[in-house]
Amino acid sequence: MSVAILKAAATIRRPGRMPVLVGLGLLALAIALAGLALGAMRIGVADALVALAHRLGLVDGVVSPQHDAVLFAIRLPRVLLSLAVGAALAASGAAMQGLFRNPLADPGLVGVSSGAALAAVATIVLGDKVLHLLDAAARPWVLPAAAVGGGLAATALVHRFGLRHGQASIATILLAGIAINALCGAGIGLLTFLADEQQLRSLVFWTMGSLGATTWTALPLALPLIVLPTVGLMTATRALDAFALGEREAGHLGVDVERLKRRLLVLVALATGASVSVCGIIGFVGLVVPHLLRLSCGPRHRLVLPGAALLGAGLLTAADLAARLMVAPAEMPIGVVTALVGGPFFLWLLLRRLSASAA
Amino acid sequence: MSLTADNLGVRIGGATLLHDVSLAAHCGEVLGLLGPNGAGKSTLLSLLAGDRAPSTGAVRLHGRDPRQWPAEALARIRAVMTQSAAVAFDFTVREVVDLARLPHAGRSSATEDRRIVAAALDLADVGHLAERIYPSLSGGEKQRVQVARALAQIWAATDDAPARFLMLDEPTASLDLRHQHMVLDTVRRFVAEGVGAIVVLHDINLAAAYCDRVALLHGGRLIADGATRETLTVERLSRVYNVALSAIDNGSGGPHFVSRTLPRSVAAAHCISA
């Protein structure tokens, strides 16, 4: 609304879709290269590129085995994961906001992330008693499955509370989100109380978010679980535009409203739950990134959804890089970094809105 | 080529919103839905649009329940403008109207869509607002944009959409006098091309001027249904709206209804029947 009033007098010119998407893609790529080159051990972009090319068999040459080890054992899986998680969180946020017709509905605020985290934490603390009953091959699946299930349950609750008579009520969504976050917080608190020394360390990781534990073993499972639902969200762009008119009006335009709602909620719960299961709760990416895109490029989901995925991938990778560099050789939890940047940004948005409605 | 309603009833909880309503809308004519607040006009329109299933009775669009139509095919032959003019996020006016072409994706070229959107914008007199942000418009401007969107959705007859319907819920509620006539004139132009229009109206005189037929609802029941001139009589309208009315001749050929709470001198001087 605020933007509407500010721009009311002037006519709007939207930037082209392809230039924006290509630009954001290049930005994500540049940040990913920086993420490979920088860190406690400085490798340099050129050396990192040579090492990459060498691995791919494109060039012959001598690469320092130390560089090679740091790049491929530590940094590459981490960068790949941060790109995927950033894309998933930002695209999920954009889809939730479009679905609820509300710019405040992000997977974190409405409780999806905390629902997933509670389920993941419960698996860590209480799972020992059950896990040994399972086949060894099934065990790596338990944590992601629990997180996805928790995310789905929280989404279903928000959906029940937030949508009344086909209209999404901002107050109800946010209040239901607060209640769900509080309940999940209480559950996580209780489990923390019950946890032993080693479990406690894992819990801190869940609640503050970190990409520090990324290894190649987790990626073949986590990456498809995160990336596929994110790609799935991209098929709903036109229908989400129609949703801006209202659910009934979207139905009049031939959108199968109930099916779309179910599909989007499941995809968001999958993408967010799978992200939380590998790196804990990372707030504000899903809220801030779609906002930035709408402010600069307009609300069309054909641009906002893929744009949010690319910008989210870049920004989360940058945040992870910052988390690694700020207190090197130690590491800041990435959730702290995104909240440090996202919090003030959100306040700035509020101020903008206030000053616009006062004018 | 028609839309028929047989013995429609809607009960929610203990309340009867609609009771035993039967009527038909035909292509090539404007059907007005009239009645006081709470008469069931919007409920009836939502049943005809296929938004909800009736508790009793059935709706048939070209012989088939609209709720059984494939959603996109239905959207290509009938457009609905509801009373809700709210749009989330800062879409421009052109982007809002462009959404009307959603059900035509893959059947209509981008060039064709652009041409139709531009023509619909002009027809609703919002062409000059095309690049403005929709939420910044006034209530009447928003309503005209929604009219443009409904028109763009059923702009032309297509192979699989031989007969089209336009359903408008109070399209003139927030419009100034000139735009009220402009919008209803546009509806008549579409009707002349074979579209069937169903329009909820509160202004009896607009209905008298633009509708071929009217259906008069009161307390969820159909009171009268027929040719406009025969159906809209002073006695019937006075009874249904519970207001003392007179019909005066304002030189336009048809009766013009005025409430008798107007200064008596005005009503008396032009009185043709009481």
Nearest chain A Cα to B85, which residue?
A245
CB B210 within 8 A of CB B30: yes
Q: Tell me the three state secondary structure of residue A261.
A: helix
Instruction: Summarize the confidence of residues A220-239 as an average pLDDT.
Output: 92
Contact: B90, A242; criterion CB under 8 Å:
no
Kindly report the CA angle at A8 between A5 and A10, in degrees rounded to 5?
A: 140
Q: Which residues in chain A have their CB less than 8 angstroms from residue B133's CB?
A: 3-4, 7-8, 12
The whole-number pLDDT of residue A143 equals 80
User: Distance, in angstroms, between A3 CA and closest chain B CA?
Assistant: 7
Q: Which residues in chain B have their CB less than 8 angstroms from residue A260's CB?
A: none
Kindly report the CA angle at B229 between B227 and B232, in degrees rounded to 5?
A: 95
Q: How far apart are CA B126 and CA B140, in angstroms?
A: 10
Residues 129-148 of B with CB under 8 A from A: 131-136
- State yes or no: pLDDT of A315 exceeds 60: yes
Contact: B89, A254; criterion CB under 8 Å:
no
Contact: B90, A5; criterion CB under 8 Å:
no
User: Distance, in angstroms, between B208 CA and closest chain A CA?
Assistant: 28
What percentage of chain B has pLDDT greater than the value 90? 69
The whole-number pLDDT of residue A167 equals 57
Q: What would the two tokens of residue B21 be?
A: 């309503």
B14 Cα distance to chain centroid: 29
- State yes or no: pLDDT of B130 exceeds 50: yes
Domain boundaries, chain B: 2-242
The whole-number pLDDT of residue B175 equals 92
Contact: A254, B74; criterion CB under 8 Å:
yes
Which of A4, A103, A249 has its CB closest to that of B136? Answer: A4
Q: Which residues in chain A have their CB less than 8 angstroms from residue B71's CB?
A: 251, 254-256
Residues 222-261 of A with CB under 8 A from B: 238-239, 241-246, 248-249, 251-256
Contact: B76, A254; criterion CB under 8 Å:
yes
Side by side, the strands of the sheet bearing B15-26 are B15-26, B2-12, B56-61
CA torsion angle B72 B77 B81 B85 (round to 10):
40
Contact: B105, A238; criterion CB under 8 Å:
yes
Q: How far apart are CA A227 and CA A289, in angstroms?
A: 18
Residue B266: pLDDT band by 50, 70, 90 thresholds? low
Fold of B2-242: Rossmann fold (3.40.50)
The whole-number pLDDT of residue B2 equals 85
Q: What would the two tokens of residue B221 be?
A: 């029941």
Residue A317: pLDDT band by 50, 70, 90 thresholds? very high
The whole-number pLDDT of residue B182 equals 95
Which of B99, B132, B134 has its CB closest to that of A242? Answer: B99
Residue-wise pLDDT tens digits, A117-158: 899 888 888 877 776 676 666 677 788 788 888 988 888 887
Which of B71, B103, B133 has its CB closest to that of A8? Answer: B133
User: Distance, in angstroms, between B86 CA and closest chain A CA?
Assistant: 7
Alpha carbon separation from A211 to A229, A256, A316, A326 (Å, rounded): 20, 38, 10, 15
Q: How far apart are CA A78 and CA A82, in angstroms?
A: 6
Which of A3, A235, A252 to mutate to probe the B interface, most B CBs <10 Å? A252
* Paired strand residues for B227: B213
Helices A334-358 and A301-326 pack at an angle, to 10 degrees, of 130
The whole-number pLDDT of residue A1 equals 44
Nearest chain A Cα to B130, which residue?
A11
CB A256 within 8 A of CB B71: yes
* φ and ψ at residue B80, rounded to 5 degrees: -125, 130
Q: How far apart are CA B218 and CA A307, in angstroms?
A: 52
Q: What would the two tokens of residue B84 be?
A: 């809700």
Interface contacts (A, B; CB < 8 Å): 92
* φ and ψ at residue B270, rounded to 5 degrees: -110, 10
Q: Which residues in chain A have their CB less than 8 angstroms from residue B66's CB?
A: none
Could you tell me if residue B106 is left (phi over 0), alpha (psi between -120 and 50 degrees) or otherwise beta?
left
Q: What would the two tokens of residue A279 be?
A: 């790196």
* pTM as predicted: 0.87
What percentage of chain A has pLDDT greater than the value 90? 28
Residues 59-118 of A with CB under 8 A from B: 101-103
Q: How far apart are CA A74 and CA A214, in angstroms?
A: 8
Nearest to A1 by CA among A358, A356, A359: A356
Which of A7, A246, A300 has its CB closest to that of B84? Answer: A246
* Paired strand residues for B215: B33, B225
Q: Tell me the three state secondary structure of residue B5.
A: strand
Q: A171 in contact with B at a CB cutoff of 8 Å?
A: no
CA torsion angle A61 A65 A66 A72 (round to 10):
90
Which of A7, A245, A300 has its CB closest to that of B87? Answer: A245
The whole-number pLDDT of residue A357 equals 56
Contact: A252, B105; criterion CB under 8 Å:
no
Q: In the Cβ-directed half-sphere of A110, how many Cα atoms lie within 13 Å?
A: 38
Contact: A298, B92; criterion CB under 8 Å:
yes
Q: Which residues in chain A have their CB less than 8 angstroms from residue B72's CB?
A: 254
Q: How far apart are CA B65 and CA B54, in angstroms?
A: 11
Contact: B90, A254; criterion CB under 8 Å:
no
Q: What would the two tokens of residue B242 be?
A: 């519970």
The whole-number pLDDT of residue A4 equals 46
Q: What would the two tokens of residue A31 be?
A: 């940040």
Residue B273: pLDDT band by 50, 70, 90 thresholds? very low
Residues 62-91 of B with CB under 8 A from A: 71-76, 79-80, 82, 84, 86-91
- State yes or no: pLDDT of A354 exceeds 80: no
Could you tell me if residue A298 is left (phi over 0), alpha (psi between -120 and 50 degrees) or otherwise beta?
left
Residue A52: pLDDT band by 50, 70, 90 thresholds? confident
Q: What is the DSSP letter of B20?
A: E
Residue A326: pLDDT band by 50, 70, 90 thresholds? confident
User: Which domains does chain A carry?
Assistant: 2-6+17-358 (1.10.3470.10)
Q: What does DSSP say about strands B15-26 and B2-12: parallel, antiparallel, or unpaired?
A: antiparallel
The whole-number pLDDT of residue B252 equals 72
Could you tell me if residue B75 is left (phi over 0), alpha (psi between -120 and 50 degrees) or otherwise beta?
alpha
Q: A300 in contact with B at a CB cutoff of 8 Å?
A: yes
Q: What would the two tokens of residue B166 be?
A: 């336009």
Residue A168: pLDDT band by 50, 70, 90 thresholds? low
Q: Which of A71-85, A120-134, B129-143, B151-165 has the lowest mean pLDDT?
A: A120-134
CB B100 within 8 A of CB B162: no
The whole-number pLDDT of residue B143 equals 95
The whole-number pLDDT of residue A8 equals 47
Other beta carbons within 10 angstroms of residue A5's beta carbon come to: 18
Nearest to B180 by CA among B153, B143, B150, B148: B143
Q: How far apart are CA B201 and CA B212, in angstroms?
A: 13
Contact: A252, B79; criterion CB under 8 Å:
yes
> What average pLDDT does the structure give for chain B?
89
Q: Which of A3-7, A196-200, B60-64, B175-179 has the lowest mean pLDDT?
A: A3-7
